Structure 1
Amino acid sequence: MNESKPKRESAIIVKNRPLTNGPRTYIVFGVMRGGTTMVAGVMRALGLFLGNNVDENNQEFTEFNSSDLDQKRKIITANNEAHEVWGWKDPNAADYVDRVWPELRNPHFICVFRDSVANGQGLNRWHPFGQIQAMQESLLRQQKNLNLLALRNVPSILISYEKAERHKGLFLEEFSSLLGIAPDHSKFNFEGFMQASSYKRIEDFRL
C-alpha cells in the first residue's frame, strides 16, 4: 500500500498516486450524512462532470439511483464514451462497485470518512432507530468501505470530513492538486460552500 505522509492539518490520505491526465472515473462514496455531498459539490465546482440531472441538494446522479445493475452498466459505458474524465457520487457505492467493475475505466476512489458519533447523530435524525445502533451502522459502513479500498489496488483519496471542513483552504489546495484542477476563487466561493450547514446549491456560490 503506497501511501503519502499527510501534514498534521491535512484531511487526506492517499493510496497510490492518482492520475491527473488521461481517462479516469471517480467514485465518491462514504457514509450517509457523512460529507460526501460537500466533497462532490467541490468536485463539480472545480468543473468535473458527475452526471446529468444531478440533484442539487445532495449532488447525486439521479439516473444512477436505480438498483438495476444493467442500467448502471449502460450509464457507465455511455459516460466513458462521452467524457474523458467523469464520475458519480453515491455514499453506498461499495455495495455494488465490484459488480460493475469491468465497465469502469481507470477507476479512482474518493472515500469520505466522518466521526462515528456525529455521523450516528445525523443518521438518527433522518432514520430514528437508536443512537448506538446508528453509530454501529456508521462503523459497519466505514469498515465495508475500507475493505473495498484494501482489496482494489487503485488510486484512492481518503478524506476526513471534519478536517476538510475545519481546514478548508488546505483541503482545497491538496484535493484539487490530486485531481489535477486548479480552483478559480474568482468564480466560486469554495469556502462558503464547504461551510457546515444544511444542503446547498452550487449555483448559489458562483461569483
Structure 2
Amino acid sequence: MISVFNKLNRTFRRSTLMQRLIPGPDYTSLNESPSGTFTTKNSGIFYSNYQAPDSTSTLLVMGVGRGGTSLVAGLLHEMDIFMGDLMSTPSYEDQKLIKEILESKPKTVQKTIDDYSDRFDIWGFKHPEALSFITRNYKRFRNPRLIFVVKDTASIAMRKAYVLGNDPIQHMYNTFDTYEQILDFIRSSKLPTMTASYEKIMSNPDKFIDALGEFGGITLDESRRASALSFIDKGNSDYELFSMNKRNARINGLHHKTNLYQGHLDHVSMHHISGWAINQKSPEPLQVVLLVNNEEIARTTADLPRSDVQKALNHPDDKCGFIFELPGNQGLASEDTVRVVIDAPVLDIAGSPQKVTG
C-alpha cells in the first residue's frame, strides 16, 4: 500500500511540474458550455478549451480499457454517428483503422481518415490502445474534439484483473499513468475537450446525452435521444459476455491468437445470423460454428463473398462471409445467447456473443 501512495505522490509532483511548464486549459468559457459550470450542482462533466462545435469534426473518445469508452462510443453510434467501416460491437471500434494504425502504415491511415471525413461531416473513433498514435498524430484528424471518460480506478483494476489476469495494483498503476498522459495531452494540445465521470453518466444519463449531443454538434431528435437512453438503460450485456470470453481465451492459452483471426457477428435475428471471419495470414476460408446458449446448432464454411471486408483489411480473398438460416421450428427465442466461434482454435469473433432481442 505504501508503494501506491508513493506512486500517487510521484504523479502529483509530476503534474505540479507540468502545471508550471504548460499553460492550463481555458476554463473561462465554461459559462457558455452546454452543461453548466463549476458553480452548479456537480454533474460530473466539465470542459477544457471549450469551443462551439463546427459543422464538421472528428470525435475522439479517450480513456482506458474497461474504463467506459465503449459506453460513450456506443452512445455516439446510437446517435447515428459513423464509427468506422468495420465497427465491431460491443466495443464499437473500427477494425479497419485500428489494423492500419497497429501496422504503422501512415499513408494508409491518412487515406482512411480522409475518406471518412469526405463521407461524413461528423464521425468518431475509439480505441484506448491508440492513445500514443492520437497524441502524436491528432492533426491528421479534421477538427478533432476529445471526449475523455473517467471511471473509478479500483473498478477498472478489478475488471482488468478478471479479464487479463495480473495484480489489480499493477492495473491501477497503469490506469493512473494513462490518465496522466491524457491530461497532459489535453493541456498541451489545447483541443476542445469534454471530460465526464462514468459513474455520473450512469446516474444521470439524460444530462450526459444532452451534453454529448451539444458538444459533438449532433442534432438529437426524439428517436436518437430515445435510442441513446435505451442503450444506457438496458446496459451493454453483450460487453459482459465479450469480456468473459476474452478471459476464457486467456485461461485456455488462446489469447495470443486473437490478433491472427478477425471477424464480426454482423446480424442476429430469430432466423438469420450472419457475419464474416478471416485468418490474416491465409486466404483459406475458415470453419465457423453457431452456438445457442453454449450448445452447437450448426457449422459452416465462411466462404461467401464480402468485398467490403477484403477492401477494408486488404485481405487476399473476399470469400470470408457466412450466413446461418434457421427454419421456423428452430428459430431463436428472446434472450437466447448466440455465439459464433472460429473452429480450431475455438475463438469468438468480434460481436460474439450477443443476446437475441425482440
Please confirm whether the aligned pair reaches a TM-score higher than 0.5, indicating the same fold. yes
Q: 2:88 aligns with which of 44, 55, 67?
A: 55
The 1:199/1:141 distance shift into structure 2, 3 A limit, reads farther
Counterpart in 2 of 1:2? 26
Counterpart in 2 of 1:192? 230
Instruction: Please report the RMSD computed on the Cα atoms of aligned residues, expressed in angstroms.
Output: 2.5
Structure 1 residues 148-187: aligned runs within 5 Å: 148-186=185-223
Does structure 1 residue 30 correspond to structure 2 residue 54?
no
CA distance in 1, matches of 2:41, 2:139: 37
Larger Rg: 1 or 2? 2
Partner SS for 1:96? helix
User: Is contact 1:168-1:191 (8 Å) kept?
Assistant: yes
Aligned length: 206
User: Is contact 1:9-1:167 (8 Å) kept?
Assistant: no
Q: Which moved more, 1:13-22 or 1:154-163?
A: 13-22
Counterpart in 2 of 1:19? 52
The 1:61/1:46 distance shift into structure 2, 3 A limit, reads same
Offset, 1:157: 0.9
User: Is contact 1:27-1:93 (8 Å) kept?
Assistant: no
Letter in 2 for 1:191: L
* TM-score, normalised via structure 1 length: 0.88
Higher relative contact order (CA closer than 8 Å, sequence separation 6+) = 1
Q: Which moved more, 1:40-49 or 1:20-29?
A: 20-29
Counterpart in 2 of 1:41? 74
Partner SS for 1:125? helix
Counterpart in 2 of 1:124? 161
CA distance in 1, matches of 2:134, 2:44: 24
Percent of residue pairs identical: 23
Counterpart in 1 of 2:103? 68
User: Is contact 2:78-2:227 (8 Å) kept?
Assistant: no
CA distance in 2, matches of 1:84, 1:78: 11
CA distance in 2, matches of 1:85, 1:138: 29
**Runs of 5+ unmatched residues, structure 2:** 1-24, 31-36, 240-265, 269-354
CA distance in 1, matches of 2:61, 2:238: 17
CA distance in 1, matches of 2:94, 2:162: 24
Partner SS for 1:129? coil
User: Is contact 2:148-2:193 (8 Å) kept?
Assistant: yes
Offset, 1:125: 1.2
Partner SS for 1:92? helix
* TM-score, normalised via structure 2 length: 0.53
More strand by share: 2
**Runs of 5+ unmatched residues, structure 1:** none
CA distance in 1, matches of 2:162, 2:174: 14
